[in-house]
């Protein structure tokens, strides 16, 4: 098992869970079989994250672009979301559950179940799992700008101007305003792109790409990604000497 510096565990890990379909195809199985196995990977990673002391885990589960997939696959994915929201994984690991994304596009029964699990886990404290459902970063940023515009218009006469808009204010309008930005972004499945995920939030995140398909990803692969993260120096635009002095 990969040894880690327990004093430098990333507080927020975001994961693009890629490769379910290709995993299934390689085994001669339907794509839905890959998604089912992907749920098992979520359980493994959730348990390991709580053991390590990670405070936030954000999972890219279903993008707005995924609505363009075949209707039968979308239906199967929605059914899988429902069946996978077993509160055992959250209560067993003391995990709080949150959702970001366009909820109104989800089937009513899915929305109801999401709200139910959020309510039942709101007092859990070990870690917060955030599921991005019907989510895209460009949608999130556009939506945030609309909300900010409406609020700015509503305070005409208050003395507020465009000069009051800064990155901290914009961050408050993002769906992720309740948590810190990711320290580490992991993408499985061998692809080397971000795919419209948390574009605002990952400005200074460390990026880790691996060839492992998501259904095969587990505790050891997670620890390997964290070890790579710990081997890097996060400079935030500063020099190494400035980092050492800070």
- Give the other-Cβ count within 10 Å of 245's Cβ: 8
What kind and span of H or E run contains 171?
helix 167-172
Count H helices and E strands in the chain, helices first: 9, 6
| Whole-angstrom distance, CA of residue 68 vs CA of residue 19 | 18
Q: What is the rounded CA–CA span in Å between residue 109 and residue 106?
A: 8
Dist. CA 83–CA 113, nearest whole Å: 10
Instruction: Please confirm, yes or no, whether 211 is among the known catalytic residues.
Output: no
Catalytic residue among 5, 66, 112, 163: 66
- The catalytically annotated residue of 18, 20, 93, 181 is 18
b/e map of 118-132 (b: 16 or more CB within 10 Å)? eeebeebeebbbbbb
How far is it, in rounded angstroms, from Cα 62 to Cα 38?
Answer: 13
> What are phi and psi for residue 186, nearest 5 degrees?
-110, 135
- Four-residue CA torsion sign, 203, 207, 213, 215: negative
Write out the two tokens for 155. 């305070």
Reply yes or no on whether 66 is catalytic: yes
Among all residues, which ones are annotated catalytic?
A: 18, 66
């Amino acid at each position: 098992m990969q040894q880690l510096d327990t004093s430098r565990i990333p507080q927020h890990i975001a994961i693009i869970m890629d490769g379910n379909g290709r995993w299934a195809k390689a085994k001669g199985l339907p794509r839905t079989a890959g998604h089912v196995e992907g749920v098992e990977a979520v359980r493994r990673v959730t348990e390991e994250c709580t053991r390590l002391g990670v405070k936030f885990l954000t999972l890219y589960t279903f993008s707005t672009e995924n609505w363009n997939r075949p209707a039968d696959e979308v239906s199967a994915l929605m059914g899988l979301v429902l069946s996978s929201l077993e509160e055992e994984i959250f209560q067993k690991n003391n995990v709080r559950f949150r959702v970001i994304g366009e909820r109104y596009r989800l089937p009513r029964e899915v929305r109801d179940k999401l709200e139910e699990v959020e309510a039942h886990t709101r007092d859990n404290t070990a870690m917060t799992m955030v599921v991005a459902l019907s989510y895209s970063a460009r949608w999130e940023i556009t939506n945030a700008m609309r909300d900010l515009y409406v609020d700015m218009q509503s305070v005409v006469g208050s003395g507020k101007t465009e000069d009051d808009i800064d990155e901290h204010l914009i961050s408050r309008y993002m769906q992720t305003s309740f948590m810190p930005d990711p320290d580490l972004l992991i993408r499985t499945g061998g692809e080397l792109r971000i795919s419209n995920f948390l574009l605002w939030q990952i400005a200074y995140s460390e990026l880790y790409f691996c060839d492992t398909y998501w259904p095969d990803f587990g505790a050891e692969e997670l620890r390997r990604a964290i070890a790579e993260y710990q081997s890097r120096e996060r400079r935030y635009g500063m020099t190494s000497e400035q980092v050492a002095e800070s």
